[in-house]
Every structure is written in structure tokens, then in C-alpha cells.
Amino acid sequence: MTTHVLHDTDVLLRRSLRHIVRSPDTIITTAVTPIAMLLLFVYVFGSSIDVGTDSYVNYLLPGILLITVASGVAYTAFRVFTDVSGGVFERLQSMPIARPAFLWGHVLTSLVANLTSLVLVVLVALAMGFRTGAGLLAWFEVLGIMLLFTLALTWLAVIPGLTATSVDGVSGFSYPLIFLPFISSAFVPTDGMPGPVRWFAEHQPVTPIVNTIRHLFAGQPVGSEGMLALAWCVGLLLVAYALAMRTYRRKIT
């Protein structure tokens, strides 16, 4: 049975990767918004923002990476929805293929697509003067956190993909995700925010994740905030996975 899961997932992964290759605009669109934000905040607002370091692009990039993923997973929801509404889902479900393969094919595709978008964003940031003292290990740690974060958001995106009744409903879920980094330490330090806003900013997952990546890029120790970031990512992943699988099981029985 395990070999079936792997084989079927592999076939379906290659199918939806082909979708991406045929419409690379999904990756470009995913990267364009965060890149535009990067340009806007660094070159327009940046001169008025004091974050206590000399390079605002260094400060900003971690948050922009999270926004990239948040907008990228909307396409996963869209691809799942297209299969469900177009009948491909039913055809696959009526065939003797491993049950989890359908979702894993889409989830792994999301990882590939989002990593590609992230590379594009980092390249633009480098061109804008982003510099890091991170060693190989720190880069791998950043990659690990981004993978966990992408997986968590992808499983979350699967849910509207399976349940939405219209295309609008599918994309709607990602707006709060894209907005969340604005009320965190992603753009400005939380110190200057008024009480309740600051409390929210410091207790939501984006802040520890952004701070951890920032420390890793700066070549500094991540401390307890790193564990907190990891805990948020793993916790979100487990909850999103459980909810998505529950939605899926209800859908197929």
C-alpha cells in the first residue's frame, strides 16, 4: 500500500508540476506582490522608518518571505478547487488509487512552487542590497523554517480548495494570511505600537518566526524565540493537517 501511495503521489505530483510549467505566471504572480512590497517599503517608506539597523531591506526580507508563501498557497487552493469543481477529483476518487495521493500531489507541488517564488524574492532582495552573514547551517535553518511554514499554510489552503463553492471563496482565505505580517515585527519593531496592538503583534506566530529568520540571517543566536518559532510552525502544521484530512475524509465518504 505504501508503494501505491508513493507511486500515485509521484504521478499526480508530476501532473500538477506540469500545470505550473505550462502557466509560470502563477509563480511570477506569487513573487510580484511581495517584490512590489519590498520595493515600496525600502525605497518609498523606508527612509521614514527607523528600525535601529542601517539596512531596512535586511530587516524587511524575513516578513516579505512569509507574505510570499501566504500569497503562493492561494494557488494551491485554486488548483484543488479546479479539480473538485471540474470532475477530475471524482474521476480520481472512483479509481483504484491510494486515497492520500491526491492531496499529497498538490501539497508537494505547493512546496516546489513556493520555494521557486522565494528564490526569486531573495534574488531581488540581493540586488537591492540585502546582505547576510549567515553560514550554510543558518541558511539550512531558514530553509527548514520556511518549509515547515509553507507546509502548514498549504494544508490550510487545502481546506477551502475542497469546500469552496466558487472561485472567489477559494482566494478569500489568503487575505488574512497576507495581512497578518503587517501587525507583527515584520515591517516595524513592535515597541512603538499602542498597547493592545503590541500585545497582539507579540503573541501571534509571525513575530517569532520573522525575528528568528532575521537573527539567522544576521548570524546571531536565535535563543528561545527560535524554539517558539519552531513550535508555532509545527503546531500550525499539525492543526492544519488534521483539519484538512478531516475535511478530505468527509468529502470522500
Residues at the interface with another protein (CB under 8 A): 7-8, 11-12, 15, 18-19, 22-23, 86-88, 90-97, 252-253
Rounded CA separation 18/21 (Å): 5
Residue 22 C-beta: closest distance to another protein, Å: 5
Q: At what angle do helices 25-39 and 101-127 cross, to 10 degrees?
A: 40
Shortest reach from residue 173's CB to another protein, in Å: 23
Residue (86 or 144) nearer to another protein, CB:
86
Strand, helix or coil for residue 130: coil
Closest approach, Cβ 68 to another protein, in A, equals: 24
Residue 36 CA: distances (Å) to CA of 41, 121, 124, 178: 9, 10, 10, 14
Which lies closer to another protein via its Cβ, residue 2 or residue 48?
A: 2
Helices 56-86 and 101-127: angle between axes, nearest 10 degrees: 150
Q: Which is nearer to another protein, 224 or 253 (CB)?
A: 253
Q: In the complex with another protein, which residue's Cβ is closer, 203 or 249?
A: 249
**8 Å CB contact between 193 and 186:** no
CB of 82 to another protein, least distance (A): 9
